[in-house]
Amino acid sequence: MRTLIATMGFDERRVLPSLRLLPYDHLVLVAGRDTFRSSGFRQLRTLEPDLETIRVNPFDLAGCLDAIRQSIRAAASRGPVRISATGGTKILTMAGIFAAFEEGIEAWYCDPEPIRLPILRGVRLIEGFAPAEQMLIRLLRRRNRLDRLVSAVMARGIPRRSVLGAVRSLEKKGLITAELEAGRAFVSPTPRFELLRAHLQEPPGKA
Amino acid sequence: MTVLFGTLGWRPQSLIPSIRSTEGLERVVFYHSDHAKSRDARAKVMEFCRSLGVPATGVELSDAFDLLESAGRIRDDLRKEKASGTAIRFNIAGGTRLMSCAALLVCVLEGIPATYVHDETYREIQLPLLRISYGAGLSPKQRQVLAFLVKNRDKRFSETGLAQAVGVHKATMNHHLRKLEAMGAVERVTDPADARRLIIRPAPGMELLIG
């Protein structure tokens, strides 16, 4: 089943080209509360009675990103997913584009001509991280002593040299900060890391 | 020292908070449309930068509603700056929605830290972009094939013709093309001159990925 996730604002005319040009079997609309009360949305509902709605605060980037990411993951289990990040606030549009990069799905901008954004299908951002970096990301939850963190990662079979390289690399990528305090090194996740945490954490599996 | 890039619409307030908050600001480069209100906003930003003693350059985009063209222009400027080793920040809050999207695309692809300024509170919001090059998701050989196709976009290559042009065995080319096709980076389409033949062409926008 092909899913189309579309971001929407008050003007339903911005969404209509996407619905016309991008074929789908299931439609998911992501918008703010007021949009779902608008006459434009009611008209769209009459055209597509089975559409799924996701309510977000269209001025909260982290919230929008999280909601779209979850929606993509749910839809990906049913078949191919596309996103049209044409409608809604700029923040909602950006969250849509960024979620597509994170999850590796096709993204389009139809205003009104369809433009396919240069996102590689199936290439998730997490794949840009080495195994030692991925392990560090999973273990670092708050400010921590570097030696303890290194030991924890080494206990999972990763050599010390790789772990230290991963610390430097994550710092360079802007995900952690390292600092010296009373002769001891500490590492802390940055706000950017916090926003990416849900994407970077390992999905839950069987025990 | 840091060079601040930005997109500017009608409100200078969307860019000014980033000018204030950037540590060791060396220069400001911002993109705007040819609309009269955007030009007014440019004059205000220039005046603000002059009062701080920071050099500023306003770049008028020929078509602020062409996403790929705007992104191409921004990417070229960013790459020049990156090559000189200067630290870069990008404020993507102002300008048309397409300008902001173009800037966001370039920041994700090039791994540039980006911020957004809230429309009402004028508070800066850091976007969760990683300082990694997105194109690294392709293997060197896939990159080479895609770069060749992008460079020769106006030519028509069959799979075999492409293998000969790049200098690899046709079975190897088939392997790379299947991978690239699965990622949506290339498309196989019927040759308009010969309906029996399939030609390979890069997906739109891949210029941004390859450069």
pLDDT in tens, A58-98: 988 888 988 999 999 999 988 999 999 988 888 899 899 98
Q: What is the structure's pLDDT at A62?
A: 82
Distance between CA atoms of residues B124 and B72, nearest Å: 26
Maximum CA extent, chain B? 66
- Supply the CATH number for residue B80's domain: 3.40.50.10770
Cβ contact, residue pair A173, B132, below 8 Å: yes
Q: Which residues of A touch B126 (CB under 8 A)?
A: 191-192, 195
For residue A1, the tally of other CB atoms under 10 A from its CB is 10
Distance between CA atoms of residues B190 and B196, nearest Å: 7
Q: Are B16 and B36 in contact (CB under 8 A)?
A: no
Nearest chain B residue to A129 by CA: give it. B132
Confidence of residue B211 (pLDDT cuts 50, 70, 90): low
Written as six digits, the tokens of A150 are: 């290194």
Nearest chain B residue to A99 by CA: give it. B128
A174 at interface of B, judged by CB pairs closer than 8 A: yes
The domain of B153 spans 138-210
Report the number of distinct structural domains present in chain B.
Answer: 2
Q: What is the structure's pLDDT at A200?
A: 64
Q: What is the structure's pLDDT at A133?
A: 87
**Residues whose CB falls within 8 Å of the CB of residue B130, separated by 6 or more in sequence, listed in order:** A125, A128, A173, A174, A175, A192, A196, B111
B166 at interface of A, judged by CB pairs closer than 8 A: no
Same domain? A79 vs A181? no
Confidence of residue B133 (pLDDT cuts 50, 70, 90): low
Interface pTM, i.e. ipTM: 0.81
Edge-to-edge strand list for the sheet holding A26-31: A52-55, A26-31, A3-7, A81-84, A106-110, A114-116
Same domain? B29 vs B101? yes
Task: Say which of B97, B111, B130 has its CB closest to residue A93.
Answer: B97
Distance between CA atoms of residues A15 and A52, nearest Å: 15
**Across B10-27, average pLDDT:** 90
Same domain? A132 vs A188? yes
Distance from CA of A207 to the nearest CA of B (A): 31
Confidence of residue B132 (pLDDT cuts 50, 70, 90): low
φ and ψ at B153, to 5 degrees?
Answer: -60, -35
The string of pLDDT tens digits covering residues B60-81 is 988 878 888 888 899 999 988 8
Residue A207 placed within a domain: no
Residue A169 placed within a domain: yes
* Domain end residue (candidates: A91, A116, A141): A116
* Domain end residue (candidates: B134, B150, B180): B134
Predicted confidence (pLDDT) at residue A106 exceeds the cutoff of 60: yes
Q: Which residues of B touch A195 (CB under 8 A)?
A: 126-128
Same domain? B102 vs B121? yes
Distance between CA atoms of residues B107 and B110, nearest Å: 5
Report the number of distinct structural domains present in chain A.
Answer: 2
Same domain? B117 vs B159? no
φ and ψ at A188, to 5 degrees?
Answer: -135, 145
Residue A161 placed within a domain: yes
The one-character DSSP state at A175 is S
Q: What is the structure's pLDDT at A198?
A: 67
* Domain end residue (candidates: A116, A146, A177): A116
Exposed, middle or buried: residue B192 (CB in 10 Å: 0-12, 13-18, 19+)? exposed
The domain of A68 spans 3-116
B139 at interface of A, judged by CB pairs closer than 8 A: no
Nearest chain B residue to A65 by CA: give it. B128
The string of pLDDT tens digits covering residues B86-125 is 889 999 998 888 899 899 988 888 888 888 888 778 888 8
Secondary element (H or E) of residue A174:
none
Rounded alpha-carbon distances, angstroms, from residue A121 to A103, A105, A169, B84, B196: 8, 5, 25, 32, 28
Q: What is the structure's pLDDT at A199?
A: 65
Provide the residue type at B21 as one letter.
S
A135 at interface of B, judged by CB pairs closer than 8 A: no
A116 at interface of B, judged by CB pairs closer than 8 A: yes
Rounded alpha-carbon distances, angstroms, from residue A77 to A2, A73, A81, A98: 11, 7, 9, 20
CA atoms within 13 A on the CB side of B187: 11
Same domain? A83 vs A160? no
Q: What predicted TM-score, i.e. pTM, was given to this entire model?
A: 0.81
The string of pLDDT tens digits covering residues B142-189 is 999 999 999 998 888 999 999 999 999 999 999 999 999 998 899 999
Distance between CA atoms of residues A16 and A12, nearest Å: 6
Same domain? B116 vs B24? yes
